[in-house]
Amino acid sequence: MGSGSSAQAPPKRIERAPVEESNEQKCDPRLPYPNFRELFTLKNYWKTVRRNEKDCGKMMLAKYLKQNPDNKSKYPKLKNVNIDTVNMATSDPGFEAVAAAYLKVFDDVITTVEEKPADVSDACTRLNSVGKMHRSKVSGMDGAQFQAMEEPFLHMALDQAQRIGSGLLHLGVSAGETNRVGIAGLNSSRYMITQYALISYSIVLVPLYYNYKSDDLCEIINSCRLEVIFCDTVDRAERFVERVNDGSTSTLKRIVVMKSPSDFRNGPHRKCPQIEIYDWDHITRVGSANLKPVTPPSPSSIYMICHTSGTTGKPKGVQLSHRALLASMAGLYVQWCMPPHSMSFDNSDIHLSFLSLAHIYEQLLELFMIYVGGRVGVFGGDIKKLFDDMAVFRPTIVALVPRLLNQFHERILQEIARQNPIKRLLFEIAVKSKLKTLSKGEMCFNTVWDKLVFSTFHARFGGNLRLLTTGGAPVSKEVMRFSRIAYGCPVFEGYGQTECCAAGTITLPFDVEGGHVGGPAAWAEVKLIDVDELQYSAENDIGEVCFRGAALMSGYFNDPDLTSKVVDEQGWLHTGDIGEWLPNGSLHVIGRRNNVFKLAQGDFVSPEQVENIYLQHPIVKQVFVYGSPQRAYLVAIVVVDVTLLRKQYAAPSIQQEKTTQSSSTTNLLSDVGVRRKFLLDLRKLGTCKGLTGIEQINNLHLTADEFTPESGLLTSTLKVKRSALADKFAENIEQLYSRNLLT
């Protein structure tokens, strides 16, 4: 989810500057993003990027058809493509570059220039499946070039995938999308090879978060009726065996441990004789001896059942087709690689894979890297050693969840605070100078300040970073602006859901602002609808965000009723998020529709936006803001850095306490004076960032225990589980309302 200003009451309707009437459509010069009201196809997208040159799409198609006359039959609806149009195209000096880049993905991405939005979906029937793309487009080569390439690794990997797939078939798994296979574990090359093995035989992939609670995993296994699961370690396999033995799941029949025989113990075999357990080498040998021809999927075949992170309850199984994944990947390609931005990627580019492959965004990024011929490096498994992995891989592309981006920002500020006065002054001057340049709409990474100050931060990512992406939760405007000056590369923010393959909107490379999530991706139609209970009106450019287009899910697995509630008869996905169109054509996401609550006096508050601001305080590690219609003000549960809290707020008597560390910390966190001082500073920060009085907390409970996925308080993608937190801290919340700390 993106970030931006918080919600209290419906904003006033945004008055647009009048546009002079003309026969030729013009683009508002203030809009760096495609105009959401008109631009739902690539034709319109390019017309806007080219400042609405009237027949840009037809010009490019005309040139294409002139060079490839045999393809004219594919476009029976197209009219007015003649030699005059071609001449118009070739007379434009900048057209050749635009056309060349556009045509590179014209056939296998979205092959339409018609005005009707529905044609985007129709055109996507011509998209390749993911598996076919892997075999024909790896390293940006055609099939013949790929077979002849000098470095054999990827070719060997695909052969290995066929052997693994053949081994599964020989052991009784049938090809086709009626069969589903799970993968549980940390990212690895064998995890990826297993995915391609399933793709090769049209078997549906069901990735399982390695940090899911055991009960959630069993529920997924049972609902998807998984008979086969690949595990990364023997220990994980043993945990599945235990759940079979205690009756938690009855469908599981085979486990494949993605380890070699030297790592494989006999323990699991003895503990559960009704389950067949194999190691990686055994499946490979069986497959090599019984090689089966591949069974390629169609574009509409289900690629994976990707389970949501569970912020609104139990994880839901989202069915995503090959067409949907490719359409979403096309959105990234258009945004990054096409004019006017024209970023290029090749086999020198490395993406560091550390987000779980059970997350749709990691799947999307790895698919993108394969399409452009890049490489993927897998982290060592310990998030605390992430920078060590970056030093080894020296990635050019990194995806960070907002929590990590916030942590990096806080860590840098804390390090600077410990420096001597001269270094602190130099840092402040450098930040002000680069922010001033950024405010002019310029992003430069070769200034004297980059060399003297910011090169240190860039080096932490390996010193080779070209692109940093984030999404999935709010990122403050301040953190985004700092990231864009400190890390030596453009920082992109995206917004979407598992149900629309993650990237429904994306920021542009040259965007220097924060507080929004960009404009619609090339595949997407986006609209806002009224939310009557919150008094939000789409007429005022604020309402619930809806998506329609080729990247939408095929539906929730085995739940047509829920699917029909989320996707309406016109094909619009109702996200449940409240969004606002900004004057520059971008979308600002306010918060979840179900999380925006009314206080007792009738005011509406979005807790995510309040939390996002309080998280900017260096002492705050995590925060959960609570309110309800029965209460007149907000309270919060705040996870703090105890060392910093003690140093900044504790009275000398507390600082010098000669008690045990545990007792000392408890006294510090419960001290009324410390809590009041800290509360006042948080409110001061909120006021500076634009929070109104009703959006500020009036009391807080301090804790040193972090929210984690293991405790059930965070999702696997590190989003807060509000209902779980409310239950966990119910007694503390009740106490917070018994006394207003400000009175």
Q: What is the pLDDT of residues 200-221, one digit of tens each?
A: 899 999 999 887 777 888 889 9
- Residues facing residue 377 across a β-bridge: 352
Look at residue 555 and give its three-state secondary structure: strand
**What's the gap between Cα 730 and its chain centre?**
31
pLDDT at 639 over 80: yes
Helix axes 130-137, 322-337, angle to 10 degrees: 50
DSSP class of 277: E
**Mean pLDDT, all residues of the chain:** 77
- The stretches of 74-129 forming alpha helices (DSSP H) are 83-90, 95-104, 118-123
Between residues 728 and 31, the one the model is more confident about: 728
Q: Give pLDDT, residue 24.
A: 37
Q: What's the CA gap between 720 and 10, in Å, rounded?
A: 26
Q: Give pLDDT, residue 490.
A: 86
Report for 266-270, 322-326, 506-510, 552-556: range of highest mean pLDDT:
552-556
Place of tokens 């987000």: 355
pLDDT at 194 over 90: yes
Q: What is the pLDDT of residues 576-601, one digit of tens each?
A: 999 998 887 889 888 888 877 778 76
Q: What is the pLDDT of residues 390-443, one digit of tens each?
A: 888 899 999 988 888 888 888 898 889 888 999 999 999 999 998 888 877 777
The CATH code of the domain at 130-297 is: 3.40.50.12780
pLDDT at 451 over 70: yes
Q: Give pLDDT, residue 4.
A: 37
Q: Give pLDDT, residue 159.
A: 81
Average pLDDT over residues 262-289: 75
Q: What is the pLDDT of residues 312-366, one digit of tens each?
A: 567 789 999 998 998 888 888 888 887 767 788 888 899 989 888 999 999 999 9
DSSP class of 537: -
Q: 109 falls in which pLDDT band (50, 70, 90)?
A: very low
Place of tokens 């069986």: 286
Report for 144-153, 244-253, 655-664: range of highest mean pLDDT:
244-253
Name the CATH architecture for the domain at 324-587.
3-Layer(aba) Sandwich (3.40)
- Residues facing residue 184 across a β-bridge: 208, 231
Q: Measure CA of the first residue to CA of the last residue in the chain; give whole Å.
A: 36
- pTM listed for this prediction: 0.71
Decide the pairing of beta strands 254-257 and 276-279: parallel
CA-wise closest residue to 157 among 197, 205, 201 = 197
Q: Give pLDDT, residue 224.
A: 93
For the chain, which residues make up each domain, given as ranges? 42-116, 130-297, 324-587, 597-738
State the greatest distance between any 2 C-alpha atoms of the chain, in Å, as a whole number.
Answer: 89
Q: Which two tokens stand for residue 55?
A: 């027949």
Q: What is the pLDDT of residues 538-548, one digit of tens each?
A: 888 899 999 99
User: What are the start-end ranges of the E strands in 491-613?
Assistant: 491-495, 505-506, 519-520, 524-529, 542-549, 555-556, 573-581, 587-592, 597-598, 604-605
What value, to the nearest 5°, has the Cα angle with vertex 506 and ends 433 and 612?
A: 65
**What's the gap between Cα 582 and its chain centre?**
22
Q: What is the percentage of the chain residues whose pLDDT exceeds 90?
A: 27
For 597-738, give the CATH class: alpha beta
Q: Give pLDDT, residue 682.
A: 94
Average pLDDT over residues 280-308: 91
**Do residues 254 and 207 touch, judged by C-beta distance below 8 A?**
no
Q: Give pLDDT, residue 417.
A: 86
The answer to whether domain 130-297 and domain 324-587 are alike in fold is yes
Q: Which two tokens stand for residue 675?
A: 């809590």
Q: Give pLDDT, residue 153.
A: 36
**Do residues 371 and 564 touch, judged by C-beta distance below 8 A?**
no
Q: Give pLDDT, residue 22.
A: 38
Q: 62 falls in which pLDDT band (50, 70, 90)?
A: low
**Do residues 487 and 434 touch, judged by C-beta distance below 8 A?**
no
Task: Indicate if the alpha-carbon torsion angle 264, 269, 275, 276 is positive or negative.
Answer: positive
Whether the bond between 340 and the residue before it is cis, its omega within 30 degrees of 0, is yes
CA-wise closest residue to 370 among 205, 141, 182, 550 = 141
Q: Give pLDDT, residue 118.
A: 39
